[in-house]
Every structure is written in structure tokens, then in C-alpha cells.
Amino acid sequence: MHFRFSVDDNILFLKDIKEKNYTSIFDNSYLALYKRLHEKFDLKVQLNLFFEYKQFNLTEMPNKYKSEWQSNKDWLQLSFHSKNEQTVYTHSDYNTAYNDCQQVHNEIIRFAGQGVLNPFTTIHCCTTTHQANSAFYDSNIKGLAGLFGTIEKPRESYNLKFQDFKSIYKDCFYYDKASDLYFVNIDMVINTFDINDIMPYLSKHIGRQHIEIMIHEQYFYPDYYMYQPDYEQKLNTAISYLIDNDYKSCFLDEFIKI
């Protein structure tokens, strides 16, 4: 049995690395947290990136840390999320989605190198058009994690219809022939749970072959208006519970063979 851990809305840690000009990327406190979790749990971490935030964008991220990204790519990988916090793809045309995705992918390869870019991701707000799905596939994205709810309370993501994706609740993933993409259901958005509710909620999923958990970057920072001071404790609680129940951390492309 396995689980994947990913993080959405990432860009602030890259801005900090660029501005502070650290010796190591792990001098950044946010990445240092994930390194601690990796060393403790053998955790694999995927960070899904925005292209820009205020006056900063990924073209400013220096490539001097490429060797460090490469030496840690077995557990720390990156992918596209959206152009920025305001951009969603609910009504997107093909070219907009394709260009936004390629822009992020190109920068990841430039500053981190091949092998750091993961072929699975979560698109911001989990909403797309069929044209956007085609654009992401043409950008070498092979699958998307989304918010599909439960069989009792299904939720439509990525322009898919319930009658097509309903097998996702009993299987590890749903393969959509029309888009040639794989879809995975996110089981827990950790920042939406009180720390005392994490284990009781995850207990309902124990026994399934795959569990998908994630969180958002911004809740890590004290200056964020919804800052969660127990951010690290929440991650320790969720991850240790899964490990204790014989789940192993993985990336999606390790068990969905593409």
C-alpha cells in the first residue's frame, strides 16, 4: 500500500531562496521542514508551482542550486500548478493553458534539471476545459489529482462527469480515454482539518491500496492571514499515521505506469 504527498500553491519558498541567496536550498525553512520529514519517514514530496507572485517569477530563480536539486530528485520533485493565484482554467482555451504550463516546466528544467519535473500534478482549483486538458497532455502531463469527493457526495473536477469517473472511488485511479489522462482523487487536504481530526478521518481510508494527501504552502508562513502554527505537527500526524499503518510514500508515476 502507498500514499502520495503533494503541496499546492508553491512559489514563496523560491522567492525566499532567490532573495536570501542561500548556500543550500535547505537553508530555506520551508524546504528544511520537508527534508526533516523525508529523513524521518522516507517521505517523497511533490511541490506544484505557480509561475509568478507579485513582482517575482520563476525566471528569477537562479540555477546555481541545480546539482542539489538533482541529488535530491529521488524524493523532492516539482510540477506545474497555475500561472498565479488568480489564474484558473475553468474557461481556458488551449493556447493559454499550454503556454502557462510550458512556461513553468521550462523554468523547472532550467533551474533544477531533468528528472525533477514530475509528469503528474494538480491544476489550481481542479477546474479545466477539455481544451486545457489537451494542452496539459501535450505538455507531457500524464495525470491530474483532483477533488472528486466521495461516492456518497461526488464532486466533479477537470470537466469530467460522474458517470464516467465513478470508478475512481474503488480503484486507485481513473483513466480517461478522451484526454488520455489519468485522474486520482485527493483524499485529504490537510490544512482544512483540525489536528485532532486527522487520524480519525484517515482511518476511514486505511486498507485501500492508495491514499492521496496534500496541503498548501501559504499556511506555513506566520504573516499569512490564515497561518497555521501547527503546520509541521499536522504533517507529522498524517504521515506518521499512514506509515504506522504500513503505507509507503511514493510518486504517482511509480505506481501508475505510463
Span 53-92, pLDDT tens digits: 999 999 999 999 999 999 999 999 999 999 999 999 999 9
* pLDDT surpasses 80 at 257: no
Q: Which CATH superfamily is domain 2-254 in?
A: Glycoside hydrolase 38, N terminal domain (3.20.110.10)
Asked if residue 93 lies in contact with residue 134, where contact means CB atoms within 8 angstroms, the answer is: no
Average pLDDT over residues 100-124: 98
What residue spans define the domains of the chain? 2-254
* pLDDT surpasses 90 at 250: yes
Average predicted confidence (pLDDT) for the chain: 96
Residue 173: which of 149, 144, 204 has the closest Cα?
Answer: 144
52 contacts: CB under 8 Å, gap ≥ 6: 11, 58, 83, 84
What does the pLDDT read at residue 135? 98
Give the whole-angstrom CA distance, residue 50 versus residue 80: 7
* pLDDT surpasses 90 at 198: yes
Give the whole-angstrom CA distance, residue 176 versus residue 132: 14
160 contacts: CB under 8 Å, gap ≥ 6: 174, 176, 183
Give the whole-angstrom CA distance, residue 40 versus residue 243: 11
Average pLDDT over residues 191-209: 97
Would you place residue 185 in the very low, low, confident or very high pLDDT band (cuts 50, 70, 90)?
very high
pTM confidence score: 0.97
Asked if residue 72 lies in contact with residue 113, where contact means CB atoms within 8 angstroms, the answer is: no
What does the pLDDT read at residue 258? 74
What does the pLDDT read at residue 29? 98
